[in-house]
Structure 1
Amino acid sequence: MMNYRTLLFTILFSITSIAFAQVPLRSYYTDGGLVPVEHSVDFKHLKLEVSFQPEEKKVIGNVEHQFVVLQKQVDTLRLDAKNMEINSVLWNGKEVQFENTKNDLIIRFPESLKWETEHTLTIDYVAQPKKGLYFIGWDDTTGRSRKQIWTQGQGIDNRHWIPMYDEKNDKVVSEILVEFDEKYKVLSNGEKLKEKKVKGGKKLWHYKISHPHPTYLIMLGIGDYAIEQRKSESGVNMDLYYYPDQKEQLEPTYRFSKRMFDFFEKEIGVSYPWETYSQIPVQDFMYGAMENTTATIFGDFYLVDSRTYLDRNYVRVNAHELAHQWFGDMVTARSSAHHWLQESFATHYDMMYQKEAFGKDYFDWVRRNYNDQSLNASKSDLKPLAHSSAGTVRHYPKGAFVLEMLKYVVGRDQFNAAIKYYLEKHAYGNVDSKNLLVAFHESLGLSLNWFWEDWIYRGGEPEYKVSFEEYENEGVFLVEQVHEMNDLVDLFRMPIYFEVHYTDGSAEKKQVIIEKQFHRVSFDLDNNKKVAYVLFDPNNQVMKKVSFSKSTEMLLNQAESAEHMLDRYDAIVALTNRDFEGKSAYLLRRFMAEDFYGIKNEIIQHIVPQLDERALELTKLALADEDSEVRKSIVENTVRVSDELEPKYRNLLQDSSYQVIEKTLELLAFYYPQNIEDYLALTEGVDGDRSNNVKVCRLKLKYAHSQDEKSLNELVDLTSNSYEFLSRVNAARALKELNVLNEQALANMLNATFSFNRRLSSPVGSVIDHFYEQKEYKKMIFDYVTNQEWSSDEFKKVSKYYLP
């Protein structure tokens, strides 16, 4: 029998457990990147004197660090230094003991450094970096490749060529002195203080930045360039680098550079925070671009002529990297958990400038794409925006959309005021997500913790199930939040607009805070008017998934009359899945009435495969459309080319868009192989964009048609290191399609697999694997790799081909 004390304890324990179970709790993902790296000193100034032996991929440097002691007792200092040869370390001018672990440089002082005292470290070293700094073209024996040296410090790769404290939570004033061949141009961070000739046909360039910035943004760009100089309305000098032999690419590439600079200064409300701004294209860049302080590096695949501009231009990336000069360079995330404060803001402002450059419909289309990407990311996990492992989609598209929603909630003017306050308060410092929240409270008096909880600290997105019913004198929206709720995702709170539109063109709207699981939103209806259509969250202001079933009549009215392109687009998408009388004729009329390619392309995808009279009429219209995106869409969705339409498709072989030419050439070669010589003649001399897309396509088709050895040799040559990576990948894939491999192509492609650039090494490696799976090519690959000498790193790549 249970005794009294045991019974009493059991009762008390149960009551306590129930009480604690009822306490509201908040659950979040754990994050190893939340806490910034500890450091015992504050680095203030970095002065680097550097020269190069490019053929040996060697860096010869001397770096001086000035720092202040942060802690009471510091007798050891660790710097990041990957695989360097350290010749000497001086502390305040005196030699000091050090240990080089090939990962760290550990300095042991003869005595403890006193709190808050200033010191200098000088390190003489040699490096042959595999990351961080890259030598391009110096190993091309034919001399055709561009010769460049450039850096990419983010995430933590500058430690491969400078011994330094390589973390974002400490900032320095950097000063770089570079000695190099006078034939080249040299760019680094900040203002160029000096450029003078020195002995041996060389020059000395001296750059220094005006304010502290993170060390991962220290940069160098060296190569053969011309420079266009412009000036912003506020007087900031802008240097725009381009290749001297491709001046025709200057205007299309930098078309909006000055205008976006002026726009950002006005929109952000804080003057550009540095003294100069430069942009420099480089070959074989592994990302899109990098926002190095005052000196953006971008992949030269964005250096475009007027025709490539139609397919891939630099405008978005240009705006993104410029916005980073405020968000990331001036104000920097304290740790990787707050990385969104850099990328989301830069993406948000690049999205804003796309609206300025390309119009509201384009801007809304980008937002919708970001909405859909975010929903898709949540299928994998529910990590929040403020998390070091949130991933690219959340740090860039989702975060940009979230900031646009924040602006929607507080209003554009108030949003801008708070951002101005945030930037000025934390100028040249480090920030975390709470600093931004506090900025809205301190500058506007707004307590937006609920928004941070829903959209920044926790993951997921709302899913709404919506319906609308008409009753006597009343129209009712029923809204239910139907997404799965758990410890990491709860109900969302957002102000959402509801609209009722009448057939006479009038409308009513109201905004309601949707925060509960169920809401009933009522409108008083005028019996003298007929409802044409209704909208829940017009123009997709709130990131969400939504199901809202409407009648066909209502969708038809919405497709024709809704103000915003996205609402018309949603109606068109819904209608393509409905059967109704005159459907194809109706969609064809909508195609002719609409201007934006997103809606036109949706209609193309639905009608063209039907191969009827409406499809023929639509195809003729689309082939002649002034928007290259529409012409591209009709080619991509074509399932048959009739004799009647062949001449119209043939005309596209001289289109203004290189991508349209390439896709059309492939299409016509398939349907009319007997005309291949004519098609090849029409595209002769057209190389295409920087990836040589048209040239590679033409060479591939010519060899397939006639086994022309010259065409094959040109394709093989395009796989070599004389060309940039996109051309090499295109050519390798063409050889895969032809299923042709020779020893020179194999050598070129194996060389590609050794590249630091995974956008080259990975796809080309897959091509080699394709051939290795075939008996006739497997022996060729085995014989070649086993008869060559490889470095240890190269052998790791080719060893899988050592099985006969």
Structure 2
Amino acid sequence: MNKFCTLFIVFIGFFGNAQQTELVDFLSVKAEIIPNASEESVKGTVSYQFKILQKTDSVYLDAIDMKVFDVVSKKIAISSSDLYADKAGKKIWLTGNFRKDKTYDVTFSYSATPKQTLYFFGNQIWTQGQGKYTSHWLPSIDDMNDKLEFDLTVAAPNNETVVANGELIEKQPKDSLTYWQFDMQQPMASYLAAFAVGDFNKKSITSQSGVPIELYYKPEDSNKVEPTYRYMKQIFDFFEQEIGVPYPWQNYKQVPVRDFLYAGMENTTATIFSEAFVVDSIGFNDRNYVNVNAHELAHQWFGNLVTETNSTHHWLQEGFATYFAQLAEREVFGDDYYYWKLYNSAEQLKELSDSGKGEKLLNPKASSLTFYEKGAWALTMLRQEIGDIAFKTAIKNYLEEYQFKNVSTDDFLAEIKKGTQADISGWEADWLHQSAFKAEQALDYLSQSTFMRSYFEISALRNVPFVEKKNQLSFALTALNDFIGQEAVYQLVGEPISQTLPLYKKALNSDNLYVRQAVANTLSTIPKELQSEYETLLNDASYLTQEAALYNLWVNFPQKQTVYLDVMKGTVGFQDKNIRQLWLFLTLVTEGTPPEKIKEFAAELIAYTSSTYSFEIRKKAFEYVNQLQFHFKTVFKNLLNASVHPNWRFRKFAREMIDGLLINPEYRQQFELLLPTLPKKENEFLSKKLSE
């Protein structure tokens, strides 16, 4: 290696650790992206335009393990950093005689096999670049302080649909692929660039202000569109009115995908969310998309329009999105629901604080609980402090002043202080700089609610002898909300059934879905006197209630097991098939099930462990087959596949199950025999595990 090359390496290594936003402003990118599902790879062509802010001879794009070819530029040379100092291959360097205030264009092609951020599941392909990870599938800028306009063109098989940032302006068929061309008009941070490919239909609606809204779904989920996207238009219209700033982008799209890593992701104009939230009208009652829907939509203003400068100010995104989602739920579900959610949030924060693990809101390494929930509480208390008018005016001015820019907490506070005479120094100390959660302030706020005061009166009876509170609990069961009656039921647990029987009967005769659900979840030993009332829970509009009731009835009344199974035979439940999988499990262990049916149902349950299904379905299936000791080769192979799944919780679950199985010498031998048949990642994992 010659001396010049050595010096260039040293320079590149130094520059790579510096902020380049002082040297260059990347303005726009036009990208053509061609994902390859069979190889789980991507190739494409990008055309970047950038303006030089200070004279320099090199700038870079973040690009993880990418190969570059077909460079089109007269004055710019391009090299992947793996050829130079950065052996990790994390950048593409653009070198030339770059002059201040000059604008340059460069075009090149690339290819990559991303280890993360671009995911392939069945016929679906989707991205998740949260934070700074878009550079795994697209040469881009990981620094969220450099915003640029993205115009993406994504190629997909002719029979599939593409959803991406911006407005779809053209579809061009070419051989077996169709190229979907999207246009953005405003800049955004690179982590918000995204696309999803799959077999999707869509429902189109329009906001009151005329913004096009597209709601995507799988064809087989057409009957779930209304409950899944229920209140969408109401929430959108509410936000434009409440925030005071019109929706800042061309349109808004939402698409559910399988095996998503989080609940949802607020990619600009194109939210991708977990298909676990795709529900029918019954599923809506326990697992609806309303909160996540509102949260991700709020990010289109708070996070996408104005973006944090760094993680110290992460609450400006997550705290704001959480806060406005709470307001949206208040608009949709009413005051009692709003205060109940705030109460549960406060309980979590108080527990964290009381354990000595409380965190300052401006701690860049704080937990999600702090950024999201404490951030929302901070805004709730700030609004209480300065009043509605001053608060809403400041929010509007803040968004207008910093639109398409980056912000710090000081920027937000400056807008607050411009519009109020109130001294907010105490609020700053308590909610921004204090690690402890101000539980007393939160309690005072919650106590504004008549409902919460009534709830606190009932919850205060938890340690009171039953005979002294019986009448109060009985009255609480008739409360005209979904929460006080539940608390009354929870206080029956552990008390003599001879005394609580009348109250359980009253609860089971209630019209309140959640009071009845509380009985299903807490009364696992069912007295004969309650059998007939308890059986009615199987018909409740709640898959959680049905699941608990089916299991408890099956356990308590063996002589009627087949009757209960017949009642629930055709019910599937949530997206994870909670009712169907429980039904299969119980049927397989019910005496008298015909042998041919046992074989059929066992095969179905085992099939749910395969990668054909989403990880939510697979996790539940693994739990059941493990209880049934279906320790077969197919199950072990599917478990090893799960051990390298992108979702870390599911991956951890699978690995812990494997740890337990490897203790058994017979099962260990079965795993050893599988080694030669495994794909690389699974083979590497198991080889390491067996050597421990």
TM-score normalised to structure 2 length:
0.92
What is the DSSP-based 3-state SS (H/G/I as helix, E as strand, rest coil) of the residue aligned with 1:719? coil
After superposition, what is the alpha-carbon deviation per residue over 1:131-157, rounded to whole angstroms, capped at 9, x for unaligned? 1111111xxxxxxxxx11111110221
Q: Separation in 2 of the partners of 1:334 and 1:234?
A: 31
| Matching residue of 1:74 | 56
Identity within the alignment, % = 34
Structure 2 letter corresponding to 1:116: D
Find the partner of 1:134 among 119, 123, 127.
119
Find the partner of 1:387 among 346, 363, 382.
363
CA deviation after TM superposition for structure 1 residue 788, in Å: 2.5
CA deviation after TM superposition for structure 1 residue 803, in Å: 5.3
Structure 1 letter corresponding to 2:65: N
**Conserved in 2, the CA contact under 8 Å of 1:191 and 1:209?**
yes
After superposition, what is the alpha-carbon deviation per residue over 1:649-696, rounded to whole angstroms, capped at 9, x for unaligned? 222223221111111111112212332221211111111111010111
| Matching residue of 2:682 | 794
Give matches, 1:538-617, under 5 Å: 539-540=446-447, 564-579=450-465, 582-592=468-478, 594-617=479-502
| Matching residue of 1:87 | 69
What is the DSSP-based 3-state SS (H/G/I as helix, E as strand, rest coil) of the residue aligned with 1:696? helix
**Conserved in 1, the CA contact under 8 Å of 2:58 and 2:96?**
no
Higher strand fraction: Structure 1 or Structure 2? 1
CA deviation after TM superposition for structure 1 residue 40, in Å: 2.4
Structure 2 letter corresponding to 1:84: M
What is the DSSP-based 3-state SS (H/G/I as helix, E as strand, rest coil) of the residue aligned with 2:389? helix
After superposition, what is the alpha-carbon deviation per residue over 1:24-60, rounded to whole angstroms, capped at 9, x for unaligned? xxxxxxxxxxx98855211110110111221111211
CA deviation after TM superposition for structure 1 residue 311, in Å: 1.3
| Matching residue of 2:3 | none
CA deviation after TM superposition for structure 1 residue 380, in Å: 4.6
| Matching residue of 2:444 | 537
Give matches, 1:666-677, under 5 Å: 666-677=551-562
After superposition, the Cα gap between the structure-2 partners of 1:259 and 1:300, relative to the gap in structure 1 and judged at 3 Å, is same
CA deviation after TM superposition for structure 1 residue 122, in Å: 2.0
**Conserved in 1, the CA contact under 8 Å of 2:490 and 2:522?**
yes
**Conserved in 1, the CA contact under 8 Å of 2:349 and 2:358?**
no
Question: How many residues are paired up?
Answer: 665
Q: Separation in 2 of the partners of 1:632 and 1:775?
A: 43
Q: Separation in 1 of the partners of 2:116 and 2:290?
A: 28
After superposition, what is the alpha-carbon deviation per residue over 1:383-410, rounded to whole angstroms, capped at 9, x for unaligned? 3112221110011111111111111111
After superposition, what is the alpha-carbon deviation per residue over 1:625-669, rounded to whole angstroms, capped at 9, x for unaligned? 333322221111104212222222222223221111111111112
TM-score normalised to structure 1 length:
0.79
Structure 2 letter corresponding to 1:186: V
Pairing 1:262–2:270 present: no
Q: Separation in 2 of the partners of 1:797 and 1:388?
A: 33
Q: Separation in 1 of the partners of 2:378 and 2:69?
A: 50
After superposition, the Cα gap between the structure-2 partners of 1:320 and 1:422, relative to the gap in structure 1 and judged at 3 Å, is same
What is the DSSP-based 3-state SS (H/G/I as helix, E as strand, rest coil) of the residue aligned with 1:576? coil
Larger radius of gyration: 1
After superposition, what is the alpha-carbon deviation per residue over 1:416-462, rounded to whole angstroms, capped at 9, x for unaligned? 11100111111111000001100011233544233222211332124
After superposition, what is the alpha-carbon deviation per residue over 1:463-520, rounded to whole angstroms, capped at 9, x for unaligned? 66xxxxxxxxxxxxxxxxxxxxxxxxxxxxx7x9xxxxxxxxxxxxxxxxxxxxxxxx
**Conserved in 2, the CA contact under 8 Å of 1:180 and 1:204?**
yes
Q: Separation in 2 of the partners of 1:393 and 1:126?
A: 38
Structure 2: gaps of 5 or more residues = 1-17
Find the partner of 1:443 among 419, 424, 428.
419
**Conserved in 1, the CA contact under 8 Å of 2:577 and 2:617?**
yes
What is the DSSP-based 3-state SS (H/G/I as helix, E as strand, rest coil) of the residue aligned with 1:645? helix
Structure 1: gaps of 5 or more residues = 1-34, 138-146, 465-493, 497-535, 542-562
| Matching residue of 2:615 | 725
After superposition, the Cα gap between the structure-2 partners of 1:98 and 1:683, relative to the gap in structure 1 and judged at 3 Å, is closer
What is the DSSP-based 3-state SS (H/G/I as helix, E as strand, rest coil) of the residue aligned with 1:730? helix
Q: Separation in 2 of the partners of 1:59 and 1:803?
A: 35
**Conserved in 1, the CA contact under 8 Å of 2:576 and 2:617?**
yes
**Conserved in 2, the CA contact under 8 Å of 1:623 and 1:649?**
yes
Find the partner of 1:662 among 535, 547, 552.
547
**Conserved in 2, the CA contact under 8 Å of 1:609 and 1:637?**
no
Find the partner of 1:171 among 138, 147, 151.
147
Find the partner of 1:185 among 161, 182, 189.
161
After superposition, the Cα gap between the structure-2 partners of 1:537 and 1:801, relative to the gap in structure 1 and judged at 3 Å, is closer
| Matching residue of 2:328 | 353
CA deviation after TM superposition for structure 1 residue 158, in Å: 0.7
| Matching residue of 2:632 | 742
Q: Separation in 1 of the partners of 2:74 and 2:483?
A: 64
Structure 2 letter corresponding to 1:67: F
Q: Separation in 2 of the partners of 1:784 and 1:449?
A: 64
Q: Separation in 2 of the partners of 1:108 and 1:82?
A: 15
Give matches, 1:474-553, under 5 Å: 537=444, 539-540=446-447
**Conserved in 2, the CA contact under 8 Å of 1:772 and 1:778?**
yes
**Conserved in 2, the CA contact under 8 Å of 1:437 and 1:448?**
no
CA deviation after TM superposition for structure 1 residue 260, in Å: 0.6
CA deviation after TM superposition for structure 1 residue 91, in Å: 4.2
**Conserved in 2, the CA contact under 8 Å of 1:83 and 1:103?**
yes
Q: Separation in 1 of the partners of 2:476 and 2:398?
A: 46
CA deviation after TM superposition for structure 1 residue 737, in Å: 2.4
| Matching residue of 2:513 | 628
Structure 2 letter corresponding to 1:731: A
After superposition, the Cα gap between the structure-2 partners of 1:776 and 1:597, relative to the gap in structure 1 and judged at 3 Å, is farther
Structure 2 letter corresponding to 1:590: A
**Conserved in 1, the CA contact under 8 Å of 2:171 and 2:178?**
yes
Find the partner of 2:95 among 109, 114, 126.
109
Find the partner of 2:664 among 774, 792, 796.
774
| Matching residue of 2:384 | 408
| Matching residue of 2:297 | 322
What is the DSSP-based 3-state SS (H/G/I as helix, E as strand, rest coil) of the residue aligned with 2:460? helix
Structure 1 letter corresponding to 2:95: F
After superposition, the Cα gap between the structure-2 partners of 1:789 and 1:688, relative to the gap in structure 1 and judged at 3 Å, is closer
**Conserved in 1, the CA contact under 8 Å of 2:144 and 2:309?**
yes
Q: Does 600-609 or 700-709 show the bigger shift?
A: 700-709
**Conserved in 1, the CA contact under 8 Å of 2:168 and 2:181?**
yes
Q: Separation in 1 of the partners of 2:671 and 2:410?
A: 57
Higher helix fraction: Structure 1 or Structure 2? 2
Q: Separation in 1 of the partners of 2:649 and 2:57?
A: 44
After superposition, what is the alpha-carbon deviation per residue over 1:558-578, rounded to whole angstroms, capped at 9, x for unaligned? xxxxx6121111121222223
Give matches, 1:628-647, under 5 Å: 628-647=513-532
| Matching residue of 2:125 | 149
Find the partner of 1:62 among 11, 20, 45.
45
| Matching residue of 2:12 | none
Q: Separation in 1 of the partners of 2:672 and 2:555?
A: 35
Structure 1 letter corresponding to 2:233: K
| Matching residue of 1:752 | 642
CA deviation after TM superposition for structure 1 residue 773, in Å: 2.4
| Matching residue of 2:250 | 275
What is the DSSP-based 3-state SS (H/G/I as helix, E as strand, rest coil) of the residue aligned with 2:159? coil
Q: Separation in 1 of the partners of 2:99 and 2:200?
A: 48
After superposition, the Cα gap between the structure-2 partners of 1:623 and 1:797, relative to the gap in structure 1 and judged at 3 Å, is farther
